[in-house]
Structure 1
Amino acid sequence: MLATRVRQPAANAATLTRQLRGTGVRRTTALGRRYYADQREASEGQTPSSNWIRNSLGFAATGTAVFLAYSYATRPDESEFLKKVQSPSKSIEDLSTRYVQKKRSLGSPGLYIWGTNEYRVVDPESKESVVKTPRKLSYFDSHVLRDLKLGETSGAAIIENGDLVQWGKGYSETEFKPTRTLTGKNLISLSMSHDRIIALSSDGKVYSLPVSQHDQLYGKRTEEKSWFSSSRSSMSYRLIQPSLKMGEKVTAISGGLEHVLLLTSSGRVFSAAASTENFPSFGQLGVAGLAWATRPPGPVDTPHEVKIPNGAKVTQIASGDYHSLLLTKDGDVLAFGDNSFGQLGMGFDPAFPFRDTPTPLLIRGLYRDGSRLPQATGVAAGGANSFFTVDVHQTGPTQDLKAAGKITSDIWTCGRGIWGALGNGKWTHLQDRPTKLKALSGLVEYDEATKGLLPIRLNDISVGTTHVAAILDNQTHLNRSTAALEGADDAGLDVVWWGGNEHFQLGTGKRSNLSQPAHINVSSDTVPDVNKEPARLQIMPAYRGTVGGRSFDMRQRVECGRHISAIYTALKK
């Protein structure tokens, strides 16, 4: 039989970290589902507990615990618990009322943020230098966000109507509170460089504007034309305009501290300078020999097409501070830019510390077993780190006939690990070859509907300057025929955190860095009871909810910025 990888609640992050390592044989159930570890543990003769139904009742509501509620969950003592499992129909209802975190989260959407507050980004009204636990930014209580980016000196968000909102000292030295800036453009996503915001509108236009309110008000204004008239814009911004084909438009953007990537509807990629302070000089534009001295005539932020080997179509883009990643339709990964910490996933050469053209990362070389066929399915980047998700298909002969045709999902990482951001349990200064993030690789869960195992992939991942958060795409309903979150057995999506914690950005309430993924607990507004176990943070999947008297299809998302973290209510994409 197969051994399980646990998803049980624990009292502290250290315990949960040990659980995620998956080095031993563990068994538990949560919400009627079971997580199983690698196939090689099958020979150990462990069998799932026949009492999994009783256990799941004890942990069902704990699995639904979510971040936005700030109260400790209570757990019945043993005698009460035994009485409840003797009457299952009653116990589920009783437990669901006892564990109210999910309901409170659904009823109180918004933006929760924590980490460094030196520049008033976490709490504009507080002079605290750090905020150790999640704090609600009340301005966004009546808004659902389309996107959010958090720099160390300023924050930027796009609200549900497409307007841009900015705050923090980087925006204004005198007025730190959230303020609408670029409006009426129907923006859908954004990135933030050293000193500029790059924003994409629904019609494919790319806007570049200063972070600073002063520069917005007193910088050069753009002429805005319509069918009937033309006038100067109300604030300073520029349009980044790549050379597009008929019917082609920009569909996604991703930026670093000095550059931005533009992905088009035809699978082409363009790159441009995105900072007023510095021109990209680490090859992150992906154009051979392009530097300040060799740039062609025209505006400094003129977009340049990135030539993709063999004309492959690109489906996803990602940017770190000074490097870039591309995912092709065929499941290949291309990397270019700074490689000083090995973030490109290829050997570091001091004589050539960066690559200025897209270079293939040999994903298949990570699997020497000929019976397995890997295909990259996602890329993510931030700071000096890169992450790749890979689906592995079992195709060849195998000792376990049941494994033939099986698909598992792995996560590989490379780059700077001195703060633990690699998530592999090591404190490596430079990791120039992809290393598997074992704690989140090869995870599967038992599906009640199909009576079989399904791979657990990533639902989302956010990579900050020194820390990372990953949301797992675990099942959230025992009954998959419904998309509602009303049942007592419904759960949230598991989220884990790791990396630098120098500004309390991991949400553990401590400054200790974590080199392995760990769950964090929902904080409490009350005095902790040593006899009660805290609830584990989970993320709400897509649901229909109401904000400001208006109904939206929305979900919760996680954002890791520059020493800041946030969980926010976002429009479902």
Structure 2
Amino acid sequence: MPPFNPGPRAFLEICRACRNSTLQRSYRSQRRQLSGQGHTRRKPQSSILFACFLGVGGLGIATHNYYDYPLLTSAFAEAPPAPVEVKIEKTKKKKGLSKEENRETISSQHLQVKRSWENPGVYAWGSNSGRVVAPDSDEQTIRTPRRIPFFDGLLLRDIKLDRNFGAAITENGDLLQWGNGFSTDVRQPTATLKGKNLKSLTISRDRVLALGSDGTVYSIPGAKEDQEKGKKVSESSWIPFLSYNSTVSYRRLQPKDLAWNEKVKSIASGAEHLLILTSAGRLFTAASSTEEFPARGQMGIPGLVWTTRPAGPYDQPHEVSTLRGFEIAAIAAGDYHSLALDKEGRVFAFGDNSSGQLGFDPTNESTYVDAPSLIPIQQLYANTGLAPTVKQIFAGGNNSFFTIDASTIARPGSNAKPSSLGRITADTWSSGQGILGTLGNGRWTHVQGTPTKLKTLSALFEYDESTNTVVPIRLKSLSVGATHVAAVMDNVTHVHAGTSDGTDSENDTNWGADVVWWGGNEYFQIGNGRRNNLSVPGYIAPLDGGSGGGEGVVGKSGGGKRKEEHRFQITPRHAVVLGGSGRKVSVEQRVECGRLVSCVYSGV
């Protein structure tokens, strides 16, 4: 008998069968650990609905646990399933523990959330040739996540890492820099640009580009020597008619002809170029490195090279005039290419296309495109009965990624039920260089022009108790390094255990969002402790190496025996009282992938 492979029309019947199963209980109540003797742990409802999609759409990333479940077989197979051996799970509770101690014992995820609040900081790993991920160590590589002691107890607004230098913005908006690219004599992060109330940053090959809360863009040398020897900027004092020179050299990059209430709202940088997006949806580009002037079309200005640049500073911003009339909502930059997403869900790409990173095949005439070109996203869903809208764009190295909401529409000859119309499927697509597995599609491809779907991160669903419906699981964020990628899932999280808006049950535990990693791993930048590259998304262990005692991903060990594996889950934003300081603040963990390095930090 051929393997069962239901089509899309079978999905509603499958979900209905799951929902009507007598084994179903409340999602939250079934996450709790049953402690009485003779009780088995119930399967979470969302995990069972997830199993439906394992049959329909391939591998699914479970929000909490994976389970083998015979319901699909019994509902559709010709023969009844084989008897299932029932095993009684032993209690993980211990006598004499408090409610909070019991939560830590039964749940690895709860312990991770608690530690992230009690001990905020930065974990980093990967290449340490520039003393960035471990400034106080001479080790060339850091195989698994390790805390940078300097950041213990600190919250950051942003952080970006290269293998040679790192930069971060403190909670009060000052810039920190470190690494051999900054100074071989300074082994710890050092404050450089102060008092500018910076809110975000990006880095090029040799400069730090930072955005102030007032919309000012600052370009700061990556090297300490250049900061000290370069031209200092005259700054105004709070005392009238008094000015002084800045302590470090930097440049202000100010787009021309901004409207009265228009200001810069976001920036993104490649190796040599900078994208500047204003609150009015206008896009500007500028040179961002002192080593090379952009020459691969990544600035989106046809014919603009070093010899044809206009009079004035070499790094002056230029408006991408061909995008006038399109209200740009988001930007992303790879090493030598650029992406722009407008409010209608259309994506424009320009720059280097030697690996197909612009979302279409390269041509023999030229390896780059110097004017924004519309990516034909609609062709990816031709004859599928789905209407796609791009929701997010990401880029890094020689790769581009797109998240798409595809809604079911009526079409001639379709037998789709009226109830299915408008149902949204969330997909993730990638293009560019995949020889190290960076595409995440299970293949090792040199050049990928037409975007390819990441099946592991597409068509994922879970059950929403608040609406009693099945909803798509989207990506919350995606960070693209030079050769590797990390994706944070926007799955259901819970951070209210033991509080007034949660429950006071000793079995009510917190859990965060799932994080998966893939791509090049030659310097252990994925963080799993191994050196082999990954072409499909996978988990890593908890950052602190501890697993508590609780549930995790069910995997398989040698000989086919089952074992529990505890995976890293990232803590979502929540207002907490930080351990040690007694200060209440809204904080979350974030992921950053850089050039052969990675980090997770506590962000405000």
Write the deviation string for residues 52-105 of structure 1: whole angstroms up to 9, x where unpaired: 99979xxxxxxxxxxxxxxxxxxxxx97725689xxxx9999455333333223
Structure 1 residue 490 displacement after superposition = 3.1
Identify if the C-alpha distance between structure 1 residues 35 and 236 changes in structure 2 by more than 3 Å, giving closer, same or farther. farther
Q: 1:13 maps to what in 2?
A: none
Q: 2:19 maps to what in 1?
A: none
Q: 1:427 maps to what in 2?
A: 444
Q: Return the alpha-carbon distance in structure 2 between the equivalents of residues 434 and 503 of structure 1.
A: 27
Aligned alpha-carbon RMSD (Å): 3.2
Aligned with 1:36: secondary structure?
helix
Write the deviation string for residues 373-417 of structure 1: whole angstroms up to 9, x where unpaired: 110001000000000111111121443554222011111100000
Tell whether the 8 Å contact from 1:460 to 1:472 is kept in structure 2 after alignment: yes
Q: Return the alpha-carbon distance in structure 1 between the equivalents of residues 56 and 66 of structure 2.
A: 24
4+ long deviations beyond 4 Å? 28-35, 37-44, 52-56, 82-85, 90-96, 478-487, 523-532
Aligned with 2:595: secondary structure?
coil
| Unaligned ranges ≥5, structure 1 | 5-27, 45-51, 57-77
Write the deviation string for residues 133-181 of structure 1: whole angstroms up to 9, x where unpaired: 1110121123211111001101100011000011110110111211011
Q: Return the alpha-carbon distance in structure 2 between the equivalents of residues 98 and 31 of structure 1.
A: 19
Q: 2:105 maps to what in 1?
A: 97
Aligned with 1:288: secondary structure?
coil
1:497 aligns with 2:517: yes
Identify if the C-alpha distance between structure 1 residues 2 and 309 changes in structure 2 by more than 3 Å, giving closer, same or farther. farther
Q: 1:324 maps to what in 2?
A: 338
Structure 1 residue 551 displacement after superposition = 2.4
Q: 1:153 maps to what in 2?
A: 164
Q: 2:89 maps to what in 1?
A: 81
Q: Return the alpha-carbon distance in structure 2 between the equivalents of residues 35 and 473 of structure 1.
A: 17
Matches within 5 A, 1:520-531: 520-522=540-542
Q: Return the alpha-carbon distance in structure 1 between the equivalents of residues 345 and 545 of structure 2.
A: 46
Identify if the C-alpha distance between structure 1 residues 248 and 521 changes in structure 2 by more than 3 Å, giving closer, same or farther. same
Aligned with 2:564: secondary structure?
coil
1:551 aligns with 2:584: yes
1:411 aligns with 2:463: no
Q: 1:190 maps to what in 2?
A: 201
| Unaligned ranges ≥5, structure 2 | 1-12, 17-41, 59-63, 69-85, 550-556
Tell whether the 8 Å contact from 1:31 to 1:489 is kept in structure 2 after alignment: no
Structure 1 residue 449 displacement after superposition = 2.0
Residue type matched to 1:347 in 2?
D
Identify if the C-alpha distance between structure 1 residues 96 and 141 changes in structure 2 by more than 3 Å, giving closer, same or farther. closer
Q: Return the alpha-carbon distance in structure 2 between the equivalents of residues 42 and 437 of structure 1.
A: 15
Identify if the C-alpha distance between structure 1 residues 3 and 152 changes in structure 2 by more than 3 Å, giving closer, same or farther. farther
Tell whether the 8 Å contact from 1:485 to 1:543 is kept in structure 2 after alignment: no
Identify if the C-alpha distance between structure 1 residues 37 and 238 changes in structure 2 by more than 3 Å, giving closer, same or farther. farther
Q: Return the alpha-carbon distance in structure 1 between the equivalents of residues 479 and 534 of structure 2.
A: 16
Q: 2:454 aligns with which of 437, 440, 445?
A: 437
Q: Return the alpha-carbon distance in structure 1 between the equivalents of residues 67 and 56 of structure 2.
A: 22
Q: 1:300 aligns with which of 307, 314, 318?
A: 314
Tell whether the 8 Å contact from 2:493 to 2:512 is kept in structure 1 after alignment: yes
Matches within 5 A, 1:99-248: 99=107, 100-226=111-237, 227-243=240-256, 244-248=258-262
Q: Return the alpha-carbon distance in structure 2 between the equivalents of residues 388 and 111 of structure 1.
A: 28
Q: 1:457 maps to what in 2?
A: 474
Q: Return the alpha-carbon distance in structure 2 between the equivalents of residues 522 and 554 of structure 1.
A: 19
Matches within 5 A, 1:243-282: 243=256, 244-282=258-296
Residue type matched to 2:293 in 1?
F
Structure 1 residue 516 displacement after superposition = 0.3
Identify if the C-alpha distance between structure 1 residues 42 and 189 changes in structure 2 by more than 3 Å, giving closer, same or farther. closer
Q: Return the alpha-carbon distance in structure 2 between the equivalents of residues 455 and 346 of structure 1.
A: 27
Residue type matched to 1:564 in 2?
V
Aligned with 2:150: secondary structure?
helix
Tell whether the 8 Å contact from 2:282 to 2:324 is kept in structure 1 after alignment: no
Q: Return the alpha-carbon distance in structure 1 between the equivalents of residues 57 and 370 of structure 2.
A: 48
Write the deviation string for residues 500-524 of structure 1: whole angstroms up to 9, x where unpaired: 0000011110000000001112266
Identify if the C-alpha distance between structure 1 residues 398 and 182 changes in structure 2 by more than 3 Å, giving closer, same or farther. farther
Q: Return the alpha-carbon distance in structure 2 between the equivalents of residues 400 and 250 of structure 1.
A: 46
Q: Which moved more, 1:459-468 or 1:224-233?
A: 224-233
Q: Return the alpha-carbon distance in structure 2 between the equivalents of residues 294 and 107 of structure 1.
A: 55
Tell whether the 8 Å contact from 2:161 to 2:167 is kept in structure 1 after alignment: yes
Tell whether the 8 Å contact from 2:496 to 2:502 is kept in structure 1 after alignment: no
Q: Return the alpha-carbon distance in structure 2 between the equivalents of residues 162 and 43 of structure 1.
A: 45
Identify if the C-alpha distance between structure 1 residues 483 and 135 changes in structure 2 by more than 3 Å, giving closer, same or farther. farther
Q: Return the alpha-carbon distance in structure 2 between the equivalents of residues 357 and 532 of structure 1.
A: 53
Matches within 5 A, 1:1-12: 1-2=13-14
Structure 1 residue 350 displacement after superposition = 2.9
Write the deviation string for residues 216-235 of structure 1: whole angstroms up to 9, x where unpaired: 01111111135532221111
Structure 1 residue 371 displacement after superposition = 2.5
Q: Return the alpha-carbon distance in structure 2 between the equivalents of residues 282 and 507 of structure 1.
A: 33
Q: Return the alpha-carbon distance in structure 1 between the equivalents of residues 209 and 503 of structure 2.
A: 35
Tell whether the 8 Å contact from 2:286 to 2:317 is kept in structure 1 after alignment: yes
Structure 1 residue 482 displacement after superposition = 8.4
Structure 1 residue 187 displacement after superposition = 0.3
Q: 1:339 maps to what in 2?
A: 353
Identify if the C-alpha distance between structure 1 residues 275 and 96 changes in structure 2 by more than 3 Å, giving closer, same or farther. same
Aligned with 1:223: secondary structure?
strand
Matches within 5 A, 1:354-433: 354-369=368-383, 371-396=385-410, 397-433=414-450
Residue type matched to 1:320 in 2?
G
Structure 1 residue 527 displacement after superposition = 12
Q: Return the alpha-carbon distance in structure 1 between the equivalents of residues 324 and 544 of structure 2.
A: 55
Aligned with 1:234: secondary structure?
strand
Write the deviation string for residues 523-563 of structure 1: whole angstroms up to 9, x where unpaired: 66589999973411100001113446232211010000011
Larger Rg, first or second structure (1 or 2): 2
Tell whether the 8 Å contact from 2:495 to 2:574 is kept in structure 1 after alignment: no
TM-score, normalised relative to structure 1: 0.84
1:477 aligns with 2:485: no
Identify if the C-alpha distance between structure 1 residues 53 and 266 changes in structure 2 by more than 3 Å, giving closer, same or farther. closer
1:565 aligns with 2:601: no
Tell whether the 8 Å contact from 2:287 to 2:314 is kept in structure 1 after alignment: yes
Q: 1:510 maps to what in 2?
A: 530
Structure 1 residue 194 displacement after superposition = 1.0
Q: 1:315 maps to what in 2?
A: 329
Q: 1:535 aligns with which of 566, 571, 579?
A: 566
Tell whether the 8 Å contact from 2:285 to 2:317 is kept in structure 1 after alignment: yes
Aligned with 1:215: secondary structure?
helix
Write the deviation string for residues 442-480 of structure 1: whole angstroms up to 9, x where unpaired: 111111222211111111100000000000000113999
Identify if the C-alpha distance between structure 1 residues 207 and 483 changes in structure 2 by more than 3 Å, giving closer, same or farther. farther
Structure 1 residue 365 displacement after superposition = 1.2
Q: Return the alpha-carbon distance in structure 2 between the equivalents of residues 394 and 484 of structure 1.
A: 36
Q: Return the alpha-carbon distance in structure 2 between the equivalents of residues 358 and 465 of structure 1.
A: 23
Identify if the C-alpha distance between structure 1 residues 127 and 297 changes in structure 2 by more than 3 Å, giving closer, same or farther. same
Residue type matched to 1:162 in 2?
G
Q: Return the alpha-carbon distance in structure 2 between the equivalents of residues 310 and 524 of structure 1.
A: 48
Tell whether the 8 Å contact from 1:347 to 1:433 is kept in structure 2 after alignment: yes
Q: Return the alpha-carbon distance in structure 2 between the equivalents of residues 202 and 505 of structure 1.
A: 32
Aligned with 2:227: secondary structure?
helix
Q: Return the alpha-carbon distance in structure 1 between the equivalents of residues 270 and 65 of structure 2.
A: 48
TM-score, normalised relative to structure 2: 0.79
Aligned length: 516
Tell whether the 8 Å contact from 1:483 to 1:543 is kept in structure 2 after alignment: no
